Amino acid sequence: MSREVKLITNFHDYYDHHFDGSGVPFLRKHDMGMNRLQMLDYMSSKGIKTVPYGYLHEMAKKYPLHTEVVVYTDISKHQGEGKIRMSLIEALETYPIDTFCTLLCGNLGESWRVLNVGRRKTILDYRSKDDWRSNVGDVEITVVDCWSRMPSFEGILDPYEFPLVAIDYVKGGNELLAVDLNVAPQLKGTGMEDLVTPEKVVNEMKKYIGRGVV
């Protein structure tokens, strides 16, 4: 029998009612987690390839000024907020040189999310029909692979560290580059609610919540 786990959250998801009223606390909030710089540094430290990133003055030394970048006006924001697409020269003319930015990579309006619930992995394809940000506007989400069991723990995918986590990728040439890490991803609305029962989601997370290495 699984132990009791109490969900502490500031948003609703389709599996929430299968948590308990008391027990080991599991914190899941939209405003928790790392900022953009911290998450890219963290993923890089785990050996995960990310989009090129840095401050404007650093990027200007590495790339032509006509190169398109994503300028982060607020590095704490998620879900397509707090960022603007423009050329490097426009960014330098508009923002302080210590403003954080990333190289604009991949097809506009498309990204892939690797969503991990415990040791279960789901891959989602996000496409926006009317915005360069894949999760803004008229968005179509396709479930590419659902609820596959991960055979081993690989750094960021370790469920003892993150019982629930999602990494978003864009294409950079022939490889996928990580651009975002979300420790409180929403499952409702992705199509998973039609494929995976609430009981399965919660029971899988319960195996790892509060059992990480201290």
- Are residues 178 and 193 located together in one domain of the fold? yes
- Are residues 90 and 155 located together in one domain of the fold? no
Sheet with 139-149: list strands edge to edge: 139-149, 120-128, 110-117, 164-172, 175-182
pLDDT the model gives residue 155: 55
CATH number at residue 201: 3.30.470.20
Token pair for 143: 């479930």
Tell me the C-alpha distance between 140 and 154, whole Å.
29
The residues of the chain scoring below 70 in pLDDT are 1-2, 152-156, 212-214
- Are residues 158 and 186 located together in one domain of the fold? yes
pLDDT the model gives residue 174: 87
- Are residues 110 and 199 located together in one domain of the fold? yes
Residue 33: CB partners within 8 Å, gap ≥ 6? Answer: 39, 181, 182, 183, 184
How far CA 145 is from CA of 176, 195, 196, 214, in Å, comes to 16, 11, 12, 32
- Are residues 22 and 120 located together in one domain of the fold? yes
Tell me how many domains the chain contains: 2
**Within a domain: 16:** yes
pLDDT the model gives residue 146: 96
- Are residues 71 and 169 located together in one domain of the fold? no
pLDDT the model gives residue 92: 98
pLDDT the model gives residue 152: 64
CATH number at residue 67: 3.30.1490
pLDDT the model gives residue 113: 96
Q: Residue 94 belongs to what domain range?
A: 51-103
pLDDT the model gives residue 129: 96
**Within a domain: 185:** yes
Residue 148: CB partners within 8 Å, gap ≥ 6? Answer: 120, 121, 122
- Are residues 82 and 149 located together in one domain of the fold? no
pTM of the predicted model, to two decimals? 0.92
Instruction: Count the helix, strand and coil residues of the chain and give each as a percent rounded to the nearest 5.
Output: 20, 35, 45
- Are residues 115 and 194 located together in one domain of the fold? yes
pLDDT the model gives residue 156: 63
pLDDT the model gives residue 97: 96
Among residues 103, 123, 140, which one ends one of the domains? Answer: 103
Tell me the C-alpha distance between 11 and 176, whole Å.
30
